[in-house]
Amino acid sequence: MASIVEPFAISHIAGRFLLFDVDAISHARREHNVCGVLIGTIPNLSQQNVFLGIPLELMPEEARVLVEQGHAYILDDVETHRSGFLEMSRETRLTALKAMDEKGRELAIAAKKRAEERQAKALKELGLAPKETEPTEIPPTKLDRYFITPTTSYPVLPKQQETVSATMPEVPRSYPLFRYLHSKGYFSTPGLRFGCHYTVYPGDPLRFHSHFLTTGLDWDEEFDLLDIVGGGRLGTGVKKSYLIGGEDRLLADQCDSGPPLESVRAFSIEWAGM
């Protein structure tokens, strides 16, 4: 696994925050408690929803906490590709095309050799194996190369042309609670299926069951008591606690270096009689 140099890029495309690098995805999960959701699929099997792959989509909250902590930066992916390809020199373009042609030829040669090996093995099993001859170089003109479709923009685009976005990801009102739980070492995933903002785990979701169903509220926000009753009953029914919390904006605004963690208060509700 390749080492990741921080800060790493989070691609911003059509309002979504995406990670395309497998090493960056592993690093964010292992080192920074950020899971995201895999959304990649195969074009001709677009309905499959079990084994999704890259890219990994991050919640705006996950992207923002990584940027605030200096672990990542937001990359304006559209502008980077637009300016990069329009301003690419003829020499750079020809070099990239030549490299793809060479790679396609190498793949075609490897495929032909594998086919010949399978044929020789089949003939040998039938007792019809031909006499062994010295291997010969396959002439390039006698072989159709494979056409390569690049899966990454690099090294076609030089990384120094990346366009860094100056704006921070916009986050919902529940972000202070998310940031607070993240600072305590918890993992959070979207909680839509439980009717809350986040499902919170004490460790990696691949190893642990979630402990909390979490909803973030404004400090002075009024809420219906029946929502607390329903959340507590649901949480207890699925062996979790229902957790609500919010940030005291007055206390947070008094700190010049950013909202302190002490400005967030959280409360858990659990039905003891169930």
Mind telling me the catalytic residues?
A: 201, 209, 240
β-sheet bridge partners, residue 213 = 199, 242
98/91 Cα distance (integer angstroms): 10
Count how many Cα atoms sit within 13 Å of the Cα of residue 255 in the half-sphere of its side chain.
11
187/111 Cα distance (integer angstroms): 44
Query: Which tokens belong to 179?
Result: 């940031």
Instruction: End-to-end CA distance of the chain: give it in Å, rounded.
Output: 47
Residue at 91: amino acid letter: E
β-sheet bridge partners, residue 186 = none
Collect all residues with Cβ–Cβ distance below 8 Å to 53 and sequence separation of at least 6. Answer: 38, 40, 41
Q: Are 72 and 66 in contact (CB under 8 A)?
A: yes
Which residue's entry shows tokens 């056409």? 147
138/23 Cα distance (integer angstroms): 36
Distances in Å between the alpha carbon of 161 and those of 46, 75, 106, 156?
33, 11, 30, 11
Residue at 236: amino acid letter: T
